[in-house]
Amino acid sequence: MVNISAIPAFQDNYIWLLTNNKQAVVVDPGQAAPVERVLAERELTLTSILITHHHHDHTGGVKPLLANWPDAKVYAPANRPLPAQNAIAVDEGDKVALPELGLEFEVMAVPGHTLDHIAYVEPDGIAGEPLSGEPLPGEPLLFCGDTLFSGGCGRLFEGTAAQMHHSLTRFAALPDNTRVYCAHEYTQSNLAFCHTVEKNNAELQKYLQKVAKLRQLGIPTLPSSIGLEKAINVFLRPHLDGVKATVQAHAGAELNENIEVFAALRRWKDDF
C-alpha cells in the first residue's frame, strides 16, 4: 500500500515521499540531508525522483542523492537544463510509470511560476484496501510544486498571469477529491489574504480555524483537495461576482475578463 508523507526542508518546503514495500520516490528534493535521514530511519531504497521546476529549493538535493543512489531515475521538465545528466525529460501528455508504487503519473505543463513548470497527476490514485492515513484508494493525486498552494498560487517569476490562470483552471477541472500536494507550507498566510478578499466566505472561515489549530500543533496543512481549494482559494475564484467586485474596488478599475481579475488579484497579493 502506498504511503505518502511530507519531509520538511528549508523554512517551509515539503519534499513529498511516496513509499511502497521499502521503495521510495521523492518529489522536489531541494535538500538531500533530510531525505537521507528518513530513508535511513525507515530502511528505504530511493528508486525515483520527480521534479516540477528548476528552482534550487526543488532541485538542490538531486545530485547529492544520486551520488548515494546512482540507480534512481530522475524525471524533470524538458525545457530546461536537466538537474542531472541522466535525467529523463518529460512534458505535457507524457506518462511517468512508477511500477515500484503501482502508480502511473501523467505530466501537465503548467507554466506561470516558471516557464518550465510541470505537474504530475495520477488520475486513478492508489489501489488496495483503505488503511489509516491518506490518501484513500482511488483518490487522484496531484503534485503541483509551486503552481497551486492551499489558499494561494505561485508568484509569477517567469510566466504571465494568463499562463498561470490557464494552469490553475486546468487544475480546477480535476475531480474534487483530487489530493493536492503543494511544495510549501504557505497556507496560513495565504488564507489571511483570501479572507481580506472574501470576508463572508463561510467555508474559508471554517478552514482558517482548522489551519490555525494544525499550525499551532506543528502539523502540515497539506495535502489539500481540489474541492476545498475551489471553495476557499480566491485564485481559483476570479469568475465569482463577489470576488470580482472586491478586486475592482481595490484596483480602482473595471475588470472585464476573469484573467484581468486574476492578474489584479496576483498583483494585490504581491504587495499584501
Please enumerate, by residue number, every residue annotated as part of a binding site for Zn(2+): 53, 55, 57-58, 113, 146, 184
Q: Are strands 73-77 and 88-90 parallel, antiparallel or unpaired?
A: parallel
CB of 180 vs Zn ion, minimal distance in Å: 16
Using the minimum distance from each CB to Zn ion, give the nearer residue, 118 or 204: 118
CB atoms within 10 A of CB 254: 8
Q: How far is CA 182 from CA 14, 103, 131, in A?
A: 8, 19, 23
Nearer to Zn ion, 10 or 193 (CB): 10
Where along the sequence are the contacts to Zn ion (CB under 5 A)?
55, 146
CB of 152 to Zn ion, least distance (A): 13
Residue 167 or 246: the one with the smaller Cβ distance to Zn ion is: 167
Binding residues, by number, are 53, 55, 57-58, 113, 146, 184
The CA distance from 16 to 145, in Å, is: 10
- How far CA 104 is from CA of 8, 107, 252, in Å, comes to 25, 10, 47
Q: Which residues are catalytic?
A: 53, 55, 57-58, 113, 146, 184
For Zn ion, the closer of residues 140 and 145 by Cβ is 145
Residue nearest to Zn ion (CB): 55
The three-point CA angle 142-147-148 to 5° equals 65
Q: Environment class of residue 13 by beta-carbon count within 10 Å: exposed (0-12), middle (13-18) or buried (19+)? A: buried
Q: How far is the CB of 169 from Zn ion (least distance, A)?
A: 20
- On whether the CB atoms of residues 220 and 214 are closer than 8 A, the answer is yes
Nearest-approach distance from CB 10 to Zn ion, in angstroms: 12
